[in-house]
Amino acid sequence: MKHISLFKYGLTVLFFLCATLTFAQKSQFAGKVIDENNVPLPGAVIRVKGTDQATATDANGAFHVNSTQQAIVITVSFIGYDVAEKSMIANQPLTIQLLPNSKSLSEVVVVGYGTQKKSDLTGAVTNLGTKDLNPGPITNPLQQLAGRAAGVSVTQTGSEPGTSPSVRIRGITSLIGGNDPLVVVDGIQGNMDLLNQVPPSEIESVDILKDASATAIYGSRGAPGVLIITTKKNKAGRTSVEYNANMSVDAIPKTLKVLNADQWWEQGQIYGVPASANHGSSTNWVDLLNQTGSTQNHTIAFGGGADKFNYRASVSAILQTGTVIKSNYKNYIGRIQATQKALDDKLTLTMNLNSGVNDANYSPPTIGRAAFTSNLFSNAYVSRPTDPVLNPDGSFYSDPNVFQYINPYAVTQTVVNKTHVDNLFGSLRADLQLYKGLTAGWFGSWRRVNGNTGYYLPAASTVSTAIDNQGIANISNYHQDEKLTDISLNYKVDFGVHHLDAVAVYEYQSQTYNGNFAQAKGFINDIATYNALQLGDLSKVTPGDISSYKNDRNLVSFLGRVNYSFNNRYLLTASFRRDGSSVFGANNKWGNFPSASLAWRIDQEGFMKNQNLFSTLKLRGGYGVTGNQQGLFPQNSLQLVGYAGVTYFGGQSITNFVISQNPNADLKWETRKQSSLGIDFGFLNDRLTGTVDVYTATTDNLLFNYTVPQPPYPYPNIVANVGSLLNRGLEVSLAYQVIKNKNTTLTLAGNASFLKNKVLNLSGSINGVQLNTDYVSWGSNAYLIKGRPIGTYNIIKHLGKDATNSETVVDQDENGIIDQGNQSPDRVFEGSALPTYNFAFTPSFSYKNFDASMVWRGSGGNKIYNAIRANLSYFENLGKANVLENAIPLGLFHSQYGSDLWLEDGSFIRWENLNVGYRIDTKSKYISSLRLSLTGTNLLLITKYSGIDPELNVSGNNTSGVDNGIYPRTRTFSLGLNVVLK
């Protein structure tokens, strides 16, 4: 986008020079063009209506026009803004404010290895500009996308500081991993963690490539979709200093209701809990661990430039204090982006440098008794309300009569769990115009991540392993090195009604991962925590206390794409990519990924000229093949020998080496074939616009850990390409501008997506031998079953309870035996763990300086196995734990089943976001714009789900759909401030 605006600016200046030579000077017209923030707009183009006359604004936004007329009408245009038409009278200076065009940011879409005009797109791409992104206390860019795009499901499980949401584009494409979309930030490709390095307020636009015809250009990494993030650039010739801040208070809207001390003892007497288990206190463990959290987001950004050079730099701080005590997160990001032109403007160099530091104190994620482990906060529900927090001597209370008792408050006060991550990435892009229409480019990026986690679990934490070992301390370090380089050739040509834009690219990517872990046990005090492992008792070192690893992968690609348009009506995009990946078998390294798509701009046809109903009408269709290798761990094709602890042989303990896996020398690309059909339409001069897309995608050669027979295999699974998955979906987005006039706009917008997935097959042959894989456990009581959706619940049906208050269940095959095996006939199908629909409603309103917007979103069609409710519902546990209030009416003493009693509807509607803003008109000498906003998030949740929040892991992995207790999701209220200095 940068290059284009520079180019246009240059052209306009040229045009202006020519124009001034031609016309005689009579009357003077002067004016100034400013943007929505009252900042001068240099480079805006002024045309005098009815003439060829044109000019552009200077660095201060000022312009002058001479005319023989006393009054003229001018049009003012600037990329990204609505064209303004104004009357001018000679010698009466006029200030013209341009407002961002609702469609402006969509005019140019980043499609990977290039850009395209939105009107020329042939694939399914959602483009979101700054104002389409969710406002508020944002800590990860994905939160800005929730509800904003059809077919893009953003799911946040709980609000633990520093944790990221997950995103799925058009469902689950793979079972082995690799369902996370490729993230491309200013050309740098990476996994989802790259998003932690993008300051949310510095995002200019997000382009989401959804269908294969759009993503195939990314070949092997494109199957799960692509998120392309373009950060803000400095506008040519303008100096800007901007400060953005957002500060929120975060509170927990809901916790599970467990028994208080009186209720607990009342029930305890009913269920025969011995008085010795009642320790006489009244403790609300949930309140004890809970606090009001806060999120702060500050960014200062500045930029400037001259004719051939411009830059933008920013420093951001994201500071979060969690709603569970002692959990917090700090993220500092500094970035600088600079562009320089040289060689008579034929060479453009663009450099990006981004460095970030994350510091987090995480609440221990898996802790508890053998019978129930969850995150720390969920353990607060388990603790008996009659237990004291402290012993009379001030030490933390613990009950030796309860096996592996933990005092969750002691854990918050004594356990250290710190993570530091340093991120550095940089890139350089060089574009050289070789010949008319022919450009060569070189791009290189290097990303390095160094992470360090320190963990100390002291005996004082009351955790039994810590007591046994007199403290456990460990440090783990990890390093990621990701390099990418590409060389590209781009050729654009117009001949007559034909337009051709072709690109050819060679790309090389390599990623290296290495790290180490060290642990010590047995500390005489807790002063040094994990900072001096050597202070531990070295005689307690056991296998596994020291380890390190290294692996790498590389990917070589050749790709080409042709965009051809005829008469601006018929558009064709065809691409081909050939990828070689190191992670496959020796003979199967390479895969071919073609795609083609067509679009017909019906609105451009002659026969559409005489109608007013359709202002836009475009039909799109495409087919493409993409691959998956990123989810596959390296080295699965090789027979390797690795470490497996210690064995005793020859009178001594020696290192044990073991064949580490079932190798599969035939491992090859998983491929996804997707067909997509879409229509873009606008009615009534685009008052009502919308897009409808349908797609069907089949993943073949599905990479998965298939079941193999033991014997002869030493391990129960082999990574192979056997099965296939089907995804089908329908996506609709609509926007209606109810009011659009000078002072007021009201837009109602929304989207909905429906998706169905099915496991087509999991069995097949490998090396000519039939493999039988089915009913693979994929969550709690959820399975992968041939012919059924991913995560289908196949579950025992609740019946009632018997005389001992033990749960009874339905004996489906009436053989007197309840078999809980995976394929047991006593199990029945009851829905699946993944939502089948998502929807969002995103209205926005503005009146003069005031604006407001909302996001409502929801999903449904899925079920949740409420495992934490089951855990907190059996009264046999009452002597050592607490139970939920709603367990009283059930009155279950014990169950040996995980029945559908705990299976609940997972549908919900959430009032995700309400934002109101006001732009304060200022006459200040220093401030050109000032905007204040108030945002509330998670304001209302409508659901039948009885747990804390039904928005749980639906990422499609094998823990989807189960609620084992989550870090609470917060409700936030925030104040935002945006100041632009002069």
How wide is the angle at C-alpha 803 spanned by C-alphas 802 and 804, nearest 5°?
Answer: 90
Distance between CA atoms of residues 463 and 253, nearest Å:
29
Helix (H) or strand (E) holding 575: strand 570-581
User: Binding another protein by CB under 8 A: which of 634, 764, 843, 860?
Assistant: 634
User: Binding another protein by CB under 8 A: which of 102, 751, 877, 960?
Assistant: 877
Contact window for another protein (CB under 8 A) among 9-17, 128-136, 374-382, 652-660: 652-660
Task: Map the footprint of another protein across residues 668-687, applying CB under 8 A.
Answer: none
User: Binding another protein by CB under 8 A: which of 26, 131, 550, 944?
Assistant: 550
Q: How far is the CB of 474 from another protein (least distance, A)?
A: 15
User: Binding another protein by CB under 8 A: which of 108, 333, 583, 795?
Assistant: 583
Task: Map the footprint of another protein across residues 430-459, applying CB under 8 A.
Answer: 434-435, 438, 440
Helix (H) or strand (E) holding 71: strand 71-77
Distance between CA atoms of residues 410 and 615, nearest Å:
65
Size of the site for another protein (CB under 8 A): 102
Cα 973 to Cα 282, 292, 948: the distances in Å are: 32, 11, 19
Task: Give the nearer residue to another protein in terms of CB position, either 97 or 660.
Answer: 660
Strand pairing category for 850-860 and 863-865? unpaired
Task: Map the footprint of another protein across residues 556-575, applying CB under 8 A.
Answer: 556, 558
Distance between CA atoms of residues 400 and 392, nearest Å:
16
Contact between residue 762 and residue 773 where contact means Cβ atoms under 8 Å apart: yes
Spell out the residues 6+ positions from residue 500 whose beta carbon is closer than 8 angstroms to its own.
Answer: 491, 492, 493, 494, 562, 563, 564
Task: Give the nearer residue to another protein in terms of CB position, either 52 or 802.
Answer: 802
Q: How far is the CB of 629 from another protein (least distance, A)?
A: 10
Which tokens is 29 given? 């017209």
Task: Give the nearer residue to another protein in terms of CB position, either 18 or 659.
Answer: 659
Task: Map the footprint of another protein across residues 527-546, applying CB under 8 A.
Answer: 540, 542-543
Task: Give the nearer residue to another protein in terms of CB position, either 259 or 583.
Answer: 583
Binding of another protein at residue 340 (CB under 8 A)? no
Q: How far is the CB of 398 from another protein (least distance, A)?
A: 10
Q: How far is the CB of 463 from another protein (least distance, A)?
A: 11
User: Binding another protein by CB under 8 A: which of 14, 546, 817, 942?
Assistant: 817
Torsions phi, psi of 756, nearest 5? -130, 135
Binding of another protein at residue 799 (CB under 8 A)? no
Binding of another protein at residue 642 (CB under 8 A)? yes
Paired residues of 75 in beta bridges: 47, 85
Binding of another protein at residue 819 (CB under 8 A)? yes
Q: How far is the CB of 653 from another protein (least distance, A)?
A: 6
Spell out the residues 6+ positions from residue 850 whose beta carbon is closer than 8 angstroms to its own.
Answer: 916, 917, 918, 919
Q: How far is the CB of 409 from another protein (least distance, A)?
A: 20
Binding of another protein at residue 815 (CB under 8 A)? no
Distance between CA atoms of residues 473 and 822, nearest Å:
39
Cα 181 to Cα 103, 191, 423: the distances in Å are: 26, 8, 20
Spell out the residues 6+ positions from residue 622 whose beta carbon is closer than 8 angstroms to its own.
Answer: 122, 123, 124, 211, 212, 213, 214, 573, 595, 596, 597, 598, 675, 676
Cis bond before residue 711 (omega within 30° of 0) = yes
User: Binding another protein by CB under 8 A: which of 654, 739, 920, 940?
Assistant: 654
For 456-465, b/e burial (b = at least 16 CB within 10 A) is: bbbbbbbbbe
Binding of another protein at residue 800 (CB under 8 A)? no
Task: Map the footprint of another protein across residues 372-401, applying CB under 8 A.
Answer: 400-401
User: Binding another protein by CB under 8 A: which of 657, 829, 847, 850?
Assistant: 657
Task: Map the footprint of another protein across residues 406-435, applying CB under 8 A.
Answer: 434-435
Tell me which residue of 948, 965, 968, 933 sits closest to 138, measured CA to CA. Answer: 933
Q: How far is the CB of 771 from another protein (least distance, A)?
A: 8
Task: Give the nearer residue to another protein in terms of CB position, either 587 or 611.
Answer: 587
Spell out the residues 6+ positions from residue 265 whose beta carbon is closer than 8 angstroms to its own.
Answer: 278, 386
Q: How far is the CB of 467 from another protein (least distance, A)?
A: 8
Helices (DSSP H) in 271-350: which residue ranges? 285-289
CA-based diameter of the chain, in Å? 108
Helix (H) or strand (E) holding 426: strand 416-435
Task: Give the nearer residue to another protein in terms of CB position, either 552 or 921.
Answer: 552
Binding of another protein at residue 552 (CB under 8 A)? yes
Binding of another protein at residue 94 (CB under 8 A)? no
Q: How many CB atoms lie within 10 A of CB 927?
A: 15
Contact between residue 339 and residue 310 where contact means Cβ atoms under 8 Å apart: yes
Task: Map the footprint of another protein across residues 456-515, applying CB under 8 A.
Answer: 464-465, 467-469, 487, 489, 491, 504, 506, 508, 514
- DSSP for 915-943 reads EEEEEEP---SSEEEEEEEEEEEEEEEEE
Task: Give the nearer residue to another protein in terms of CB position, either 715 or 850.
Answer: 715
The separation between CA 100 and the C-alpha centre of its own chain, rounded to angstroms, equals: 27
Task: Give the nearer residue to another protein in terms of CB position, either 856 or 874.
Answer: 874
How wide is the angle at C-alpha 759 spanned by C-alphas 754 and 765, nearest 5°?
Answer: 155
Q: Quick check: helix, strand or coil at residue 859?
A: strand
Paired residues of 289 in beta bridges: none
User: Binding another protein by CB under 8 A: which of 60, 70, 91, 770?
Assistant: 770
Distance between CA atoms of residues 509 and 629, nearest Å:
13
User: Binding another protein by CB under 8 A: which of 822, 886, 946, 959?
Assistant: 822
User: Binding another protein by CB under 8 A: which of 802, 813, 924, 944?
Assistant: 802
User: Binding another protein by CB under 8 A: which of 62, 638, 692, 799?
Assistant: 638
Task: Give the nearer residue to another protein in terms of CB position, either 401 or 531.
Answer: 401
Contact between residue 883 and residue 258 where contact means Cβ atoms under 8 Å apart: yes
User: Binding another protein by CB under 8 A: which of 92, 269, 639, 744?
Assistant: 639
User: Binding another protein by CB under 8 A: which of 14, 18, 306, 371?
Assistant: 371
Q: How far is the CB of 89 from another protein (least distance, A)?
A: 53
Distance between CA atoms of residues 539 and 469, nearest Å:
11
Task: Give the nearer residue to another protein in terms of CB position, either 66 or 581.
Answer: 581
Binding of another protein at residue 712 (CB under 8 A)? yes
Task: Give the nearer residue to another protein in terms of CB position, either 13 or 489.
Answer: 489
Helix (H) or strand (E) holding 215: helix 212-215
User: Binding another protein by CB under 8 A: which of 714, 787, 825, 891?
Assistant: 714
Helices (DSSP H) in 450-518: which residue ranges? 464-469
Task: Give the nearer residue to another protein in terms of CB position, either 275 or 641.
Answer: 641
Paired residues of 249 in beta bridges: 294, 973
Binding of another protein at residue 524 (CB under 8 A)? no
Contact code string over 125-164 relative to another protein, x by CB under 8 A: ----------------------------------------
Helix (H) or strand (E) holding 249: strand 240-251
Q: How far is the CB of 410 from another protein (least distance, A)?
A: 16
Contact window for another protein (CB under 8 A) among 235-243, 602-610, 649-657, 926-934: 649-657
User: Binding another protein by CB under 8 A: which of 525, 611, 647, 744?
Assistant: 647
Task: Map the footprint of another protein across residues 883-912, applying CB under 8 A.
Answer: 893-894, 896
Binding of another protein at residue 852 (CB under 8 A)? no
Q: How far is the CB of 646 from another protein (least distance, A)?
A: 5
Binding of another protein at residue 42 (CB under 8 A)? no
User: 3-state SS of 161-177?
Assistant: CCCCCEEEECCCCCCCC
